[in-house]
Amino acid sequence: MSPRVLLAVFALAGSLAACSDTAVTVHPDASVSPRATPGICIPGPGGTGNELHVGAYCKNGGDQCAVLSTEAILVCAADVDPAGDEFCIKIGCSSHALCGEQGCCTGREGEGAHACVPKGCLTEGDLTKPCPPIPGLVNDAGTSTRTDGG
């Protein structure tokens, strides 16, 4: 897994308290055509991610993710950690199924924060590989991924 992805996901625990419901206005670049980019780790301008917008292109401080969904907490990985990449992540997951097409749930063993990220970030870009087990949770197959005996 990319260290940049891990840093962004694990920074969430400390940054979620700073989230607000402030209305955001998006000023899209009219010269960039939107295109679906499910599973692509670094989508590039115009990338919309999957149907839940996991993996949509964003810029640090741009608030693009916040306006994409009213049903999920989406944040830009670059906003939660300076080393984060420019894609939206969905906060709060407990299975890969909650992450949409080509999305995977991930987190760190012993940490409370889990987030959906593009599959390509966890599979070295190979979208044919399955999502890896979710650290600290029971995976989609019903098998515990905990290593602390729990």
- The pLDDT tens digits of the residues spanning 11-38 come to 443 343 333 333 333 334 546 789 999 9
- For residues 103 and 111, which has the higher predicted lDDT (pLDDT)? 103
The pTM is what?
A: 0.73
Q: What is the pLDDT of residue 31?
A: 61
What mean pLDDT value characterizes the chain?
A: 77
Task: Give the start-end residues of each E strand in 59-150.
Answer: 73-76, 88-91, 103-107, 114-118
- Percent of the chain topping pLDDT 70: 71
pLDDT band at 68 (very low <50, low <70, confident <90, very high): confident
Query: What's the pLDDT at 33?
Result: 84
